[in-house]
Amino acid sequence: MQLAALIETIFRITESQRKALHKFRIKTIEDLLYHFPSRYGDVAEVRNIENLQKGETAVVFGRISNLKATKAFRKKIPMGTGELHDDTGKIQIVWFNQPYLAKMIPEDALVRVEGKVSERRKSGTLYFSNPKIEKVETIPHEVGNSLFRKSQTLSAESLTLTPENHALHSVYSESRGITSNWFYHAVQKILKTGVLETLTDPLPQEILKKYHLPSFKTALIWIHAPQKESDAVAARKRFSFEEVFLIQLEKQKERRLWQKEKSFTIEKGEEHIARFTKRFPFSFTNAQNKAVSGILEDFRKGVPMARILEGDVGSGKTAVAATTSYAVVTSRPQGQSYGTLQVAYMCPTEILAKQQFENFISFFSHLPINIGLITSSGCRKFPSKVNPHGATDISKSQLLKWVQNGEIPILVGTHALIQKVVKFKHLAYAIIDEQHRFGVAQRKALVHKEKIVPHLLSMTATPIPRTLALTMYGDLDLTILDELPPGRKPIITELIAPKDRDTTYEKIRKELQTGRQCYIITPRIDEPDPDKEFAVQARSAKAEAKRLKERVFPEFEIGVMHGKLKDAEKESVMEDFKDGKISILVSTSVVEVGVNIENATVIVIEGAERFGLAQLHQLRGRVLRSTHQAYCYVFTESGGKKVLERLRALQEAKNGFELAEYDLKFRGAGKLSGREQWGVSDVAMEALQNLKMVEAARFEAKRLLEEDATLSQYPFLIEHLASRKKEEIHFE
């Protein structure tokens, strides 16, 4: 048997199993071996209510209320009912024919409930049917996170449940059509074929020795069927190191390739730049100055820059981008006494592209520099022929012509920029704003437009933990803007309990009466389905706007903004808000990125428990735009201790990076959905809690490539990298 063999060739697979395997991205025997148990211990998984799925058997810790002994409506079956709450939601419990169960537990007790999650046919609502219930003293910390459940791990029951009498029962995440048990037996069957004897460890021996990691073979056995906890831990450590190491190898390889490319040498120094920056109505922060100098230095090297500029919201990244762009557009192409080098500036949304286009006009209007804008809804150019102080709409073909012949040195746009038809004459500098909103493919498309590779500046306000930055941005140099412009008053952030809603609205009214504006962020666009009685009653933008107008702020203009609006509609709402025609903008989190309206000094976040901390921080950043005192009111209907503790971090943290670290720790591995967000597995997310391990993996990857750039001594590594790549492509 070969690792690359398809599962179907070894196992008989039903259609529903095939679908489930696809969902888990499992195609080959190798994929199966890399599908690790999600935990070891209890048979049923401890879950948060919001993560429950129909049909599964789960354990939930929470508070029980509304206990009643009743009769089922039609059939007159005696039954007991109750409602279970945790930080994430609530779920009904029904005990058919056992009404007395509802009487055995005191109202509002903390309980552990274990049973089958069922679904009401009509409404789709989930409920526990006939679960076991017991009173508990405390709710275990880290419910839904921790790898090992202490409770019943070593009970006689779990021992008999494991076919091979392994001391720990391995539990794999399941999906409709495929059970944990199936995975267990399938993996054991493969391990018994002796295939392990034929495998070569992808990790070099010396690395295993140096970091005391178990070999590939041992680790596979330990991770799938550990005899003791420490074996499982060691095995997981090995695999998380392995994954981070492989990512690092890829990133470092890319970096080395990138550095072989030719680029434009731009020799502008600080004095030259000063001519530009002295016109700014403010002076640069030290962090901005350092960032600009770093970039100018890169420009001189002749190899393409690949840099990421990470700075909290409001730290002034645009000014850094504009200033360095000035150096580019005031430089001539090599050996030419006319024309200029060009800049492409890509934004994730049309609103932002327009905003940055306007910004660039204000920065460059005193210079003989044409600026273009390209989005899917049209093109503009500054200056207009008739009005030297304004921009004008032009046809796409006209714009493309001027970009191609170099007459437009600065082109701002959305991803419309990366279309093949957009050709530059001398593209020397590519800037990506809010880069986390773009994929790697889009980034590559932008920088590989022409033969000579432009310098790349990626900008992001998403504070991510250092471990993640080292891993995911391993191919980029990192500049951090860790300083806000002076005079910014910290945003006053308050957690608002439901009972204080009205007094908070009064405070907001006072602020609005002085002419300021306000954002109200809601987690949803539409009203939730009223049939879904237990659906989370998240506030929706549309309904909330209506409610506020009717009941709370009848005297103010209220606008609505969400992702489903057409671009033109979004734009006109934003215009109205910008012009002050709207005082209150009720919006989903689409305003999250980059929007800049200085007069908006209040932001209300509804259903805050539904957002991540880093995202909340970014939302809050919408009002960190000027020297006015700004306020952020965080509304939450959930009184859960964990929720409040997490939100309190928002009040206390000094910056986004602190919050990101907190999110990583607090939500725990896996919960950050590493796969969706960063393309790494749950096991690698475990490594990201461990800075030392990430640094070691990075160090070793660099060292290996320095010694052996083609990895010719490590054929297994090459194989492994290739199969990772294949997988990525296959599932895209």
**Which residues in this chain contact ligand ADP in the complex, by CB under 6 A?**
282, 284-285, 288, 311, 313-319, 461, 485, 594, 596, 625
Partner that binds at residue 668, options ligand ADP, Mg ion, none, CB closer than 5 to 8 Å by kind: none
Is the Cβ of residue 247 or residue 461 nearer to ligand ADP in the bound state?
Answer: 461
Is the Cβ of residue 485 or residue 594 nearer to Mg ion in the bound state?
Answer: 594
- 587 - beta bridge partners? 521, 561
Q: Least distance to ligand ADP from the beta carbon of 347, Å?
A: 11
Number of other CB atoms surrounding residue 512 within 10 Å: 18
- 37 is a contact residue toward Mg ion (CB under 5 A): no
- The one among 594, 607, 668, 674 contacting Mg ion by CB under 5 A: 594
In the chain, the N- to C-terminal Cα span, in Å, equals 27
Is the Cβ of residue 594 or residue 670 nearer to Mg ion in the bound state?
Answer: 594
Q: In Å, how far are 68, 417, 438, 473, 539 from 348, measured between CA atoms? A: 52, 11, 7, 19, 26
Residue reference for tokens 């506020």:
548
Q: Least distance to Mg ion from the beta carbon of 545, Å?
A: 26
> For residues 606 and 330, what is the distance between their CA atoms, to the nearest angstrom?
47
Is the Cβ of residue 618 or residue 681 nearer to ligand ADP in the bound state?
Answer: 618
Q: In Å, how far are 233, 234, 548, 688 from 229, measured between CA atoms? A: 6, 9, 55, 21
Q: Binding residues for Mg ion, how many (CB under 5 A)?
A: 1
If you compute the radius of gyration of the chain from its CA atoms, what whole number of angstroms results? 29
Report the residue closest to ligand ADP, judged by CB: 316
Q: Least distance to Mg ion from the beta carbon of 315, Å?
A: 9
Partner that binds at residue 667, options Mg ion, ligand ADP, none, CB closer than 5 to 8 Å by kind: none
Partner that binds at residue 438, options Mg ion, ligand ADP, none, CB closer than 5 to 8 Å by kind: none
Residue 11 DSSP one-character state: S
> For residues 297 and 267, what is the distance between their CA atoms, to the nearest angstrom?
9
The string of DSSP codes covering 338-358 is: S---EEEEE-SSHHHHHHHHH
Is the Cβ of residue 481 or residue 717 nearer to ligand ADP in the bound state?
Answer: 481
Is the Cβ of residue 41 or residue 348 nearer to ligand ADP in the bound state?
Answer: 348
Alpha helices (H) in 334-433, listed in sequence order: 350-364, 396-404
Q: Least distance to Mg ion from the beta carbon of 184, Å?
A: 49
Q: In Å, how far are 136, 217, 243, 244, 718 from 203, measured between CA atoms? A: 46, 11, 10, 12, 11
Partner that binds at residue 316, options Mg ion, ligand ADP, none, CB closer than 5 to 8 Å by kind: ligand ADP
Quick note: the x/- pattern for Mg ion over 367-386, rule CB under 5 A, is --------------------
Q: Least distance to ligand ADP from the beta carbon of 482, Å?
A: 12
Long-range contacts: 567-570, Cβ < 8 Å, 24+?
567/350, 567/375, 567/376, 567/377, 568/377, 570/350, 570/351
715 prior amide bond cis, ω within 30? no
> For residues 37 and 402, what is the distance between their CA atoms, to the nearest angstrom?
57
Partner that binds at residue 41, options ligand ADP, Mg ion, none, CB closer than 5 to 8 Å by kind: none
Q: Least distance to ligand ADP from the beta carbon of 621, Å?
A: 7
Report the residue closest to Mg ion, judged by CB: 594
Q: Least distance to Mg ion from the beta carbon of 470, Å?
A: 23
Is the Cβ of residue 318 or residue 467 nearer to ligand ADP in the bound state?
Answer: 318
Q: Least distance to ligand ADP from the beta carbon of 320, Å?
A: 8
Long-range contacts: 507-515, Cβ < 8 Å, 24+?
507/631, 508/602, 508/604, 508/631, 508/633, 509/553, 511/601, 511/602, 511/631, 512/553, 512/556, 512/583, 512/584, 512/602, 515/580, 515/599
Is the Cβ of residue 435 or residue 638 nearer to Mg ion in the bound state?
Answer: 435
Is the Cβ of residue 17 or residue 355 nearer to ligand ADP in the bound state?
Answer: 355
Is the Cβ of residue 348 or residue 485 nearer to ligand ADP in the bound state?
Answer: 485
Q: Least distance to ligand ADP from the beta carbon of 377, Å?
A: 23
Contacts of 185 (CB under 8 A, 6+ apart): 163
Q: Which stretch binds Mg ion (CB under 5 A): 43-51, 161-169, 218-226, 587-595?
A: 587-595
Partner that binds at residue 315, options Mg ion, ligand ADP, none, CB closer than 5 to 8 Å by kind: ligand ADP
Pair of tokens at residue 274:
């000063």
Task: Look at residue 114 and give its three-state secondary structure.
Answer: strand
Is the Cβ of residue 341 or residue 344 nearer to Mg ion in the bound state?
Answer: 344
Pair of tokens at residue 679:
């393309």
Q: Least distance to Mg ion from the beta carbon of 434, Å?
A: 7
Q: Least distance to ligand ADP from the beta carbon of 266, Å?
A: 22
> For residues 281 and 208, what is the distance between their CA atoms, to the nearest angstrom?
57
Window 546-575: residues binding Mg ion (CB under 5 A):
none
Partner that binds at residue 282, options Mg ion, ligand ADP, none, CB closer than 5 to 8 Å by kind: ligand ADP
What residues line the site for Mg ion (CB under 5 A)? 594
